[in-house]
Structure formats: C-alpha cells, structure tokens
Amino acid sequence: MRIGIITSGGDSPGMNAAIRAVTRCALDRGIEVVGIHEGWQGVVDGGDKFQPFNWRSVGGILQLGGTILGTARSEDFRKPEGRRKAVRNLVNADIDGMVVIGGDGSLTGALLLYREWADHLTALAAENAIPAKKAKNPAPFRVVGLPGSIDNDQFGTDMSIGADTALNTIVEAVDKLNSTADSHQRTFVVEVMGRRCGYLALMSAVATGADWVLIPEEEMDSRWHYKMVDALKRGRAAGRRHDVIIFAEGARHSDGLPIKADTIVEILKQRMGVEARVTVLGHVQRGGTATPFERNLASRLGAAAVEHLAGDDPTPVMVGLIHNEPKTTSLEEVVAKSQAINAEIDSGNFEQALALRGRSFADSLELLRTLARAAPKQDVTDRGRIAVMTGGPDAPGMNAIVRTALRIARNEGQDVVGARYGFGGLAQGDVQAIHWMDVQGWINLGGSELGAVRHELTPEEIGQIAEQIKKWDLRGMIAVGGMETYKEVRKLIDARERYPELRIPIICVPATVDNNLPGTEITIGADTALSNIVDAIDKIKYTAGAAHRAFIVEVFGRRCGYLAMAAAMASGAEMEILAEDGINLDLLQKDIAVLRSGFAAGKKMGIVVMAENASPYYNSDFVRRIMEAEAQGFFQVQTTILGHLQRGGVPTAFDRIQGSRLGAFAARRIIDEIAAGRDQVLVTGIQRRGVVATPYDEVMEDFDLEHERPKEQPFMSWRTLADTLAKPAPSVEE
Ligand code: ADP
C-alpha cells in the first residue's frame, strides 16, 4: 500500500505533528508514504510536488510551526477537470489512499474526489492517460481526513488541530494588552479569527476575563451596543480600570451585516467618550510552535488515521477527538453537518447555530456573561457563608477556580469568604471576606492569591476549624487542591462525630500539576506544567549541538507518570521512565541498548523523560551514571531537573477555562447542597460526560492508595504510539 499526505486550506499549528505521526505510523506498518506539497494544488500539479517520505523526512519537525508540506488554496481542484488531473497523478504514482489534513473546504474536496474516483478513472483510461488495467474493477479510493483548523469549527471533533495553540496565542496577547490597558485606563477592542465560529473569541474571553464578547453564533439584539455600553459604564463605575472587548471577525448585527472594529470604536466614542484602541491579531493566530496538547492530539489522530487506512473499511472518514479518544465519523456526515451550521449562520438562524455547536459552547457564553458583570445581580441573602480555600502545593489555574466560584456564588446571593493558606489558615482564623471586584485581575495570575501551603492538620486544629465554622456561620466549603488537600478532607470527614459543626457540604476541586487524582481525567495545573516542561525540552534540544548526548529530564508527577508520558510524546523524546514501570536493572539495560542503537544509527541527541519518584532506589543521577557507564562511548549523559519552574508562570488557556468551568460548577453545586440541607462531601472532575461531582468515598475507590495514583490511567495507552514515533530511523533507508 502507498498513501499520500497533504495539508490544505488555512495552515494551523500541529499540522507537522500530524504529518510526522501519519508518516511514521504508516512506515512502521510497511505502508509507503508520499508527501505531497502545496495542498490540493500539489495533487493537481504532480511532478516534484510528490516527494517519497522516509523516516527521516519528518525528523525534527514536531516543534516547528506551520506545515513542512506547505498548503494552498486551489481553484483548479474546485473544478472537475482539476480533480481529474489530480486522479491521474495519484494513479500514476500508485497511490491507493490519502490523509488530508485541513478544514471543511479541504475535506469537502476529499469527499468529492472519493465520489468521482471511478468516473475519472474510466475517462482517464479512455484518454490513455493512465494504464487501462487501473480502470478495471478499481478499488475505492481510500480517504481519511484530519481536522486542521484554528477555528475549531469542524463537526466530528471536540478539538481541531490548531485551535489550542491559536487560543493560547490570543490569550497571551490579550494578557499583554490587559497590562498596558490597565496602566492607562484604556479600552481595547480585539479582533480575533472566526468567520463563522466564535470559539476563539468566546474561549479567549473566558480565559482572559474580557468584559464583552461578540461572536457569529449569537443573535444580536438590535440594541446590542446600548447593552454593551451600559455594561462597560457599570464596570467603570464599579472600579474597573480598563475594558477589553473581544470580537470574532464574523460577528454580525441583527440584520446580518458584519460588525466592524471601527463601528465599535465609534460607538464607544459617541456614547462613552473613550478613545478605544483596536488590535487585530490576524495571522499571528496561525503561527508559532504548537502546544503540547496540540502535538499529542495531532499524533494520536494521525495514528488513528493510518489505522483506518490499513483496515478493510473503505468508508471515507474524518478522525476526530471525541471525549478524549480518537473516533471516526463518516466524511459525509462531517461535511454535511459543518455545512449545515454555516448555512444557519449565513441565513441568520443564530439559535440553531448555537444549538449545533453543543451545550458546552452555550454554557461558556452564559458563564462569560455572568463573570463579566460589574456586580452581582442580587445582594447577599441571609444564608450564612461558604468558604473557599486552596491547599498546597499551589497549581496554576487555582485563581481561575476561586475567581469563578466566588462570582458565581455571589451572583446567586451567596456570601463567600476566603480561607488563607488552606486548612491551616482556616484553623487559625485567617479568613477574609472576598468581594466581586477583589478577584478582577486574578484570571491570569499563577500560583494562588489566597495562599496555598502544605499543612497536615493536627487533631487540635480540626477542633479549631469547627470553631471557625461556627464563628463565620460557614454552611459549605470549596476545597481546591491536590492529594494533600483530599487527605485533609478525609480527616474532617472522620472527625464529624466529634465535631458536628463539620457536617457541612464540602466540594473538592482537583488542582495539581501532577494529574494524579481520581474522579477526573485531568487536574487543573497539569496543562500549564506540561507546557512548561515541553518548552524546556524544546530549548534543551537546541543546546545539544553536534554532541552525542542524552539528556535525562526529570519532571514532576509524584508517583503518576502523566507529565512524563505526555511530555515525552509531545517532545518526541526517545523514552520515558515512569513509576508505573517499576525501574529495575533489566529494564534500564534494555532502554540503554535502544539508545545505543539509536546513536549508532546516527542520532545526535536523545531525550529521556523521567518522572520524579520513578523509583525509591534509582534517582535520576543514579540512572545517569548507569547509562553513562553502559553507553560504551556512543553517547554522554546529562541530567536536568526541572523542579519548580514547572508550576510557575501564567496558566495556559486550558487551565483557565477548565478551572473556570470547575469553579462555576462547584459554586452552583454547593449552593444546591446547602439548600437541600445535605452534608455530602463531593469531588468534582472533568469526565467524558462533562463536569461531574462524585461522592468522596466513591471516588476514592478508584484510587490506588498504595501507589498514590488513580487505578486507571488512560494515558498509559499512549506509550506504544510515543515509542513508535520516537524510534530511530531504520539503518537502511532508500
Ligand atoms: P479549509 O480547508 O481550511 O476550509 P478552504 O475552504 O480554502 O480551506 O479549502 C481548501 C481547498 O480545498 C480549496 O482551495 C479547494 O482546493 C478545496 N475545496 C474547498 N471546497 C471545495 C469544494 N466544495 N469542492 C472541491 N474542492 C474544494
């Protein structure tokens, strides 16, 4: 079998990771690969646009932005004659199938090619443009699409390749605007991409705490600008020093005409007397190196695409990520549904368009509307207070959780206090009122503004907490943190008989870089840590120069290998050493042999990602010395312990958005629990079904207490793929 691969339409970060995965997974199965340059135009043009790929063709491209294959928009391919040329070139190159990485347009083209295949063959054979035997009983052309679009507007996937990176780029830019806007008390109008899809605008607004958002899916009231101006005025009156309005390029007035940046500026000038500044982010949103999430997404989808092509089912499909797993959807359905949404928007049926985007999209819009308020919609009602606290060690995204929980609860009239420095602070009465405007600028701050330190409660302190509950009339608690926090909550549950004050509902919100908690597929903070780690490894790779050197990079994770595994896959590391494996000499020897053969085959550098606590006996320095001793002169070994830089810096878009979702959920749920007079202890998490809360004891059944990690860890199934992709090139390559 021989397959072709193209990237087509608008380029997006992560396309290179997909090209690498498709190529290497195919070669690994004995399938030949032809890289076709310049999208569909390259298929139409043929000739030197077709480049046979070997293992090395896709080496060193994981961290590169853009696409090494180039991409194009092709008018030729839109016409049947153009597609006929494409078929001729594919047949003459003996290509049996294709992987097409691109947006709706590119995949529509792929579907057409599939449908017309047999007809083109017959016509081409009649013209003697292809050998006659190729047109006889032809097998269907095999096509698999991968969603490549920064807009995240494709049906059949929760995330398209490029969206996470673009979102982070926007968030980083708006963070910068926020700081200058604040200094000058300015109003900024930021235009982001999205002709028919408001994903980037909406999610970046949630992630940056923007004050107003305009998206194509929302039906604009004819008086939308009055509402906007009133809201901004209220914000300023409440003490906000600046305003940021994010709008998608495709936002429209109620009559369907596009809303332009200049219009917004003019409205603000006329009605508020402010000189707003416009920032059009434009193509920077497409550029840059892909985030680790993106790279892993693209790698997993690419592998699944090859699997489909290697199988017997000739149905053309798109492989997307649905509930965190690669899933195929027929290309017919993908194209039809994507076109349906576009048609709804073009004809002004906004409600249907919003419904087709799915519930979490509509929920995010609703959430943003609440968070952007200048003040809560109602005064504090006489329902006691809830306490919010963050337990140590801190994790990026904790502030997003607390900020959102506070605003959602206060909006419902629920009074909220913050316990400083976790349960230890609560015991000492270090409690303070937090108000709506106190959390205004928190969304992009790393660490925890409330303070988060590790602290093991003594029996005496538990009694003191009971006193504080009485003193502050606490009716519920939101405990944000990691394993330590969950353990302290256990102590509070166990002490309930002694201290009846402790019989109040408690909700735990998972926030730790280690991603080692049960009840959730991901913890808040892990995405930022992963991003920090992969960033560091990308840099380490550049320092290797011409030396034959292996780097052992030690990362966080406690006894959970998530960070090591995800970082290894995202950085193309040669191997990962996890506590889950249980290190022993045998294993190490095998690993070292793999490294040695890699260097013998010409590798200049190798990365080994090692989880801290991978073994109680072998630390990273010991492993380094063993490796060096066994390297037999093929390579040297160095160790880098990343340490606390992993939890530093500003949180990623993912941690801010998911943190906000969890914070909102926890606040609503605790209010419900209080109203129902219950005293349950619950653990929130992000699961396939969405955000959920599970009783504490039930969650702990999924936890391996001895090894301090969840019993089931889906990321362990990534290993085969990560190892395949990082294999050294075969010693003989044509
Ligand atoms: P994207 O794939 O990012 O949505 P475009 O819509 O520009 O980008 O599509 C990329 C290319 O795919 C087009 O230049 C064209 O060659 C091909 N294409 C798009 N729509 C069609 C169509 N309806 N029929 C045939 N080819 C199409």
How many angstroms separate the alpha carbon of residue 42 from the centre of ligand 1?
13
The span from the CA of 575 to the CA of 720, in Å, is: 11
Atom of ligand 1 nearest to the CA of 72: 14
In a domain, 328, yes or no: no
CATH (domain of 569): 3.40.50.460
**How does the average pLDDT of the chain come out, rounded?**
95
Q: Are residues 535 and 476 in the same domain?
A: no
User: Do 132 and 207 belong to one domain?
Assistant: no
Alpha carbon distances (Å) from 229 to 235, 437, 562: 10, 19, 46
Residue 345, domain member (yes or no): no
Residue 731 has pLDDT above 50, yes or no: yes
- Residue 148 pairs in a beta bridge with 161
Q: Assess whether 403 and 460 both reside in one domain.
A: yes
**Is residue 253 domain-shared with residue 136, that is, in the same domain?**
no
Residues 14 and 151 in one domain: yes
Structure tokens at 9: 């339409």
Burial (CB count <10 Å: 0-12, 13-18, 19+), residue 384:
middle
pLDDT at 317 over 90: yes
Q: Is 102 in the pocket of ligand 1 (CB under 6 A)?
A: yes
- Indicate if the pLDDT at residue 551 is higher than 60: yes
CA distance 455 to 300: 39
Residue 119 lies in a domain: yes
The residue length of the chain stands at 734
The pLDDT of residue 734 is above 70: no
User: Given the DSSP bridges, would you call strands 431-433 and 50-53 parallel, antiparallel or unpaired?
Assistant: unpaired
73 close to ligand 1 (CB < 6 Angstrom) = yes
pLDDT > 70? residue 587: yes
For residue 10, how far is its CA from the centre of ligand 1 (angstroms)?
A: 9
Q: What is the largest CA-CA distance in the chain?
A: 91
Question: Closest ligand 1 atom to the C-alpha of 10?
Answer: 3
Per-residue pLDDT tens over the stretch 211-243: 999 999 998 888 999 999 999 999 999 999 899
Nearest CA owner, ligand 1 atom 26: 109
Is residue 237 domain-resident? yes
In short, whether 204's Cβ falls inside 6 Å of ligand 1 is no
Mean pLDDT of 531-541: 95
Q: Are strands 549-555 and 605-611 parallel, antiparallel or unpaired?
A: parallel
For ligand 1, say whether the CB of 112 is within 6 Å of any of its atoms: yes
Closest C-alpha residue for ligand 1 atom 27:
109
Residue 544 has pLDDT above 70, yes or no: no
- DSSP characters over 154-197: -TT-SS-BTHHHHHHHHHHHHHHHHHHHHHHT-EEEEEE--SS-
Which residue, judged by its Cα, is nearest atom 16 of ligand 1?
74
For the Cβ of 9 lying below 6 angstroms from any atom of ligand 1, the answer is: yes
Q: Is residue 369 part of a domain?
A: no
Model confidence pLDDT, tens digit, residues 592-630: 999 998 898 888 899 999 999 999 999 999 999 999 999
Q: Is 491 in the pocket of ligand 1 (CB under 6 A)?
A: no
How many folded domains does the chain comprise? Answer: 4
Q: What is the pLDDT of residues 60-103, one digit of tens each?
A: 999 999 999 999 999 999 999 999 999 999 999 999 999 999 99
pLDDT digits (tens, 9 = 90+) for 151-180: 999 999 999 999 999 999 999 999 999 988
| pLDDT > 70: percent of the chain | 99
Residue at a domain's end among 229, 260, 286: 286
Residues 593, 700: one domain? Answer: no
C-alpha dihedral, 389 to 391 to 393 to 398, nearest 10°: -30
80 C-alpha to ligand 1 centroid (Å): 13
97: its two tokens: 């199938």
In this structure, the residue with its CA closest to atom 15 of ligand 1 is 74
456/672 Cα distance (integer angstroms): 30
pLDDT in tens, 56-66: 999 999 999 99
pLDDT of 61 reads 96
Ligand 1 atom 19: the closest Cα is on which residue? 105
Which residue of 11, 12, 38, 40 sits with most ligand 1 atoms within 8 Å of its CB, as the best mutation to test the pocket?
Answer: 40
Residue 38 DSSP symbol: S
Is residue 168 located within the same domain as residue 281? yes
Residues 554 and 671 occupy one common structural domain: no
Residue 224 and residue 215 in contact, taking contact as beta carbons nearer than 8 Å = no
Classify residue 338: in a domain, yes or no: no
For residues 19 and 302, what is the distance between their CA atoms, to the nearest angstrom? 7
Residue minimizing CA distance to atom 14 of ligand 1? 73
> 114: CA distance to ligand 1 center in Å?
15
Of the pLDDT bands very low, low, confident and very high (cuts 50, 70, 90), residue 254 is confident
Catalytic residue among 45, 151, 514, 527: 151
Q: How far is the CA of 106 from the centre of ligand 1 (A)?
A: 4
Query: How far is ligand 1, taken at its centre, from the CA of residue 72, in Å?
Result: 9
What is the secondary structure of 227-278 as a DSSP string?
HHHHHHHHHHHTT---EEEEEETT-B-TTSPBPPHHHHHHHHHHHH----EE
Please tell me the distance from the alpha carbon of residue 423 to that of residue 367, in angstroms, as a whole number: 29
Has 151 been annotated as catalytic? yes
Q: What stretches of 612-730 adopt beta strand conformation (E)?
A: 636-641, 681-687, 690-695, 703-704, 709-710
pTM for the whole structure: 0.96
Burial group, residue 90, by CB count within 10 angstroms (0-12, 13-18, 19+): buried
Instruction: Give me the pLDDT at residue 182, please.
Output: 80
Residue type, 99: V
Rounded to 10 degrees, the C-alpha dihedral 56/62/66/71 comes to 40
Mean per-residue pLDDT for 181-196? 91
The reply to whether ligand 1 has any atom less than 6 angstroms from the CB of 195 is no
The average pLDDT across 576-590 equals 92
Ligand 1 near 342 CB (within 6 A): no
Quick check: CB of 12 below 6 Å from ligand 1?
Answer: no
Ligand 1 mean position, distance from CA 317 (Å): 17
Q: Is 74 in the pocket of ligand 1 (CB under 6 A)?
A: yes
The distance in angstroms from the start CA to the end CA of the chain is 17
For a mutational test of ligand 1's pocket, the pick from 108, 334, 341, i.e. the residue with the most ligand atoms closer than 8 A to its C-beta, is 108
Q: What CATH number is given to the structural domain containing 507?
A: 3.40.50.450
Q: Which residues contact 522 (CB under 8 A, 6 or more apart)?
A: 515, 658, 686
Nearest ligand 1 atom, CA 149 = 3
Q: Give the residues across from 144 on adjacent strands.
A: 99, 317
Q: Measured from the CA of 73, which atom of ligand 1 is nearest?
A: 14
Cβ–ligand 1 contact at 10 (below 6 Å): yes
DSSP state of 149: -
Q: Range of 156's domain? A: 2-161+290-322
Residue 461 sits at the vertex; the CA angle it makes with 456 and 465, to the nearest 5 degrees, is 110
| 665 shares a domain with 709 | yes
CB atoms < 10 A from the CB of 617, how many? 8
Same-domain pairing of 46 and 121: yes
pLDDT band, very low/low/confident/very high, at 461 (cuts 50, 70, 90): very high
- CA 124 to centroid of ligand 1, rounded, Å: 23
Distance 304 CA to ligand 1 centre (A): 23
Q: Facing residues of 396 across strands? A: none
Bigger pLDDT: 200 vs 182:
200
Domain endpoint, select from 322, 343, 374:
322
Write the DSSP assignment of 709-731 as a string of letters: EES--GGGGGHHHHHHHTPPPPS
How far CA 260 is from CA of 223, 230, 247, 250, 312, in Å, comes to 16, 20, 9, 9, 50
| Residue-wise pLDDT tens digits, 424-453 | 999 999 999 999 999 999 999 999 999 999
pLDDT of 279: 97
Q: What band does 666 get if pLDDT is binned at 50, 70 and 90?
A: very high
Decide: 302 in ligand 1 pocket, CB within 6 A: no
Residue 356 pLDDT more than 90?
no
CB of 78 within 6 A of ligand 1: the answer is: yes
Residues 53, 111, single domain; the answer is yes
User: From the CB of 77, is ligand 1 less than 6 Å away?
Assistant: yes
- CA of 43 from ligand 1 middle (Å) equals 13
pLDDT at position 732: 61
Instruction: Map residue 87 onto helix, strand or coil.
Output: helix
488-526 pLDDT, tens digit per residue, is 999 999 999 999 999 999 999 999 999 999 999 999 999
Residue 370 maps to a domain: no
Among 621, 649, 677, where does a domain finish? 649
Q: Is-contact 200 152, C-beta < 8 A?
A: yes
* Nearest alpha-carbon partner for 422 in 451, 387, 384, 398: 451
- CA gap 523, 158 in Å, rounded: 19
- The pLDDT score that the predictor gives to residue 69 is 98
Residue 733, pLDDT above cutoff 60: no
Identify whether residues 689 and 631 lie together within a single domain: no
Please report whether residue 177 resides in a domain.
yes
Angstrom distance (rounded) from CA 106 to CA 154:
12
